[in-house]
Chain A
């Protein structure tokens, strides 16, 4: 028997947790849960290489480690900084972090259309949630916003770059699903866009998962788009015997009708088991599925505002005002 590897003891906003060496600050915070968890718009556990880009997860390291207690001079991206033994981290207890985060949110919103009421993602959009919690109540941006034409990428997926926050999650998803590079980022800076290069169709059996990893309404399901607001649908945990994937999914029902199928997301909005296109786009009959029961939506999200038990965020709804 090998000896158990020693654990690292770290503190986030005064709460202590022991984690394995190599754990990131974000994942340590997720073990603690609650207010310790920084928001993450680009990191995605199952996507290799993801993280570091959106900068919403910045935290302050007020003590580097037991051995070298010096604080880190800059805020660090918690999703891509690993813990050291004795590290002390400030998330919500640091004004610097809160300021930087509201700064990042402001940046993410300056070129984002403020038209949540007509966006298909409204209600399950991480940016919307983030803006409720960290956004300022008015915009200081007085210039024309960046806009793009909507694109069909493949038979089932719509890309609306105007809403994209360039988190690269869909890029990593596509890259990690296939050997071919057929989906990536073109151009640079704020002209950068997600693209399939010469309007390729994305055809991989699992490509539908780019919809689930997208934190905003940039990638949406053409078989569902605008059929209903999500909060009028009832999410049910369902499964089926699928030869391609696990067959474990969520069916979003309107009455007896399956309006949409997605993979199951955890409380941090991440899919642990990706589902195949067949389950997602073709199994739209109630009889296709075995229903397990109503899905519990953990995230404090705008979805909860309508028919879930969680508390509604109290801040002024920024986006609906615009």
Chain B
């Protein structure tokens, strides 16, 4: 049986309350860290664990922590990124909703390691009810002496605040998050300076994902080495995967990194196979930003090896034949799904969410959406496919923040692997429109084109 480090107690009745959480071993990591470890010891354990950022980029957390500047007399801040807005990703919500105290405990231990005395959870505005769950839990933690002044008599002080966003995906980008938290328009900043040197209010700052911070709890409890023993190579520990699409059991799963993609999709422990016995057509394994994989590259790499749920294996083959683990938003498409429609839908999202600071992303995302819309609704031209390819290339790598890349990659991968389907849309506009999922009955070709 796979080990669960984060969601082990998720199904325990009342685990969202302090008493139940405490009875199930909660706040032991805080006790251990504050009583018997120095902040450096905690950083050391996190380094040993091999934990990598769970927000998407997979940057080693211990290394990130060791970069934080420590100028004399300047406060430092830890910010928890709970903005979770990437289509296909919903794991942080599940964790916070079910076991809010796990995140709070992680925040305490991590803030201690970084030497922060006031830390923030920046939560997506649409998660207002989760914010209320967190606030209730934080109040309990204060009441029981886990937050505030002189925590458990250790001499360490920490205040924890929750701050909601106002409905912008871009505020999940760490520097936009900082701007937003400062009360400004959520435009990403130019780097350098990096947040580790000048972040919130120009103070040294670390931004980490909800799951990353929660994972620090088992790492402190059981030791970095024990965490690193799970997984394959540089993909250590467990990872939450948000599984959705045409599978039998959509939901949030905690996997040990290294399980095979095949097992993840088909075993009853996880997705439970394809719904209605359909064939698998494609898979986006890491949230809407990562390249889509065609059916023959999902469970096997181009080299014919079994594909694993790890950072490395999912990326095997680069963009030519691989993808990314990203934030773990695992979307499965069956044979009835239209790739052009899906690509248009994603591009609609990025167009809507671009902050508009830099010209390639501001203009290019809208342009791609319009061209994809035209293709999807039967007005496309053959040249549109090459035009799309050009537009995404003009965006990728040329923008301030990675949202530009995130908008470009799905379009590039869809054309790379499903060019025939785009061509089919041009050649057979009527048929493809009628075949498309969801359009069959409600809209006829004529009504859409009226």
Contact = CB atoms under 8 A, between A and B. Distances in A.
A100 interface: yes
B128 interface: no
Interface string A122-150: 00000000000000000011010000000
Contacts of A100: 394, 398
Main DSSP-derived SS at the B contact region? helix
Contacts of A104: 359-360, 394, 398
Contacts of A192: 355-356, 362
B394 A107 contact: yes
A4 interface: no
Nearest to B192: A82
Contact of A190 (B190, B356, B397): B356
B166 to A, nearest CB: 11
B363 A108 contact: yes
**What range describes how many residues of B lie at the interface?**
20 to 34
Interface in B315-353: 351-353
B394 A189 contact: no
Contacts of A185: 185, 356
A107 B364 contact: yes
B139 interface: no
A189 B355 contact: yes
Interface string A199-236: 00000000000000000000000000000000000000
Interface in B367-384: 367, 370
A187 B355 CA distance: 8
Contacts of B223: none
B151 interface: no
B356 A58 contact: no
A76 to B, nearest CB: 10
**What range describes how many residues of A lie at the interface?**
20 to 34
Interface string B68-102: 00000000000000000000000000000000000
Given A107-B394, A111-B363, A185-B185, A53 B370 contact: no
Nearest to A100: B398
B353 A55 contact: no
A80 interface: yes
Given A52-B190, A80-B190, A107 B360 contact: yes
B394 A53 contact: no
Interface in A42-56: 51-56
A206 B360 CA distance: 32
Nearest to A190: B366
A85 interface: no
Interface in B287-334: none
Contacts of A108: 359, 363
A190 B398 contact: no
B365 A143 contact: no
A188 B370 contact: no
Contacts of B356: 166, 185, 187-192
B398 to A, nearest CB: 6
A165 B356 CA distance: 10
A104 B185 CA distance: 24
Contacts of A103: 360, 390, 393-394, 398
Given A52-B358, A75-B397, A140-B387, A190 B370 contact: no
A165 B360 CA distance: 11
B10 interface: no
A189 B370 contact: no
B416 to A, nearest CB: 19
Interface in A166-203: 166, 168, 184-185, 187-192
B399 A189 contact: no
A75 B358 CA distance: 14
Contacts of B168: 188
B49 interface: no
| Most A CB within 10 A of own CB, among B356, B370, B397, B399 | B356
A106 B393 CA distance: 13
B187 to A, nearest CB: 8
A80 B397 CA distance: 16
Nearest to A165: B359
A55 B357 CA distance: 10
A188 B362 CA distance: 9
Contact of B354 (A74, A184, A189): A189
A54 B190 CA distance: 13
Contacts of B232: none
A141 B384 CA distance: 11
B5 interface: no
B7 interface: no
Nearest to A143: B370
Given A107-B362, A190-B354, 10 more contacts: A53-B359, A75-B397, A103-B360, A107-B394, A111-B363, A141-B367, A166-B362, A185-B356, A189-B365, A192-B362
- Nearest 9 A-B pairs (CB), nearest first? A103-B394, A192-B356, A189-B354, A107-B363, A189-B356, A52-B190, A190-B366, A74-B397, A107-B359
25 contacts: A51-B190, A52-B358, A52-B400, A74-B398, A77-B190, A103-B360, A104-B394, A104-B398, A106-B394, A107-B364, A108-B359, A108-B363, A110-B363, A141-B367, A143-B370, A165-B359, A166-B356, A188-B170, A188-B356, A189-B351, A189-B352, A189-B362, A190-B356, A190-B362, A192-B356
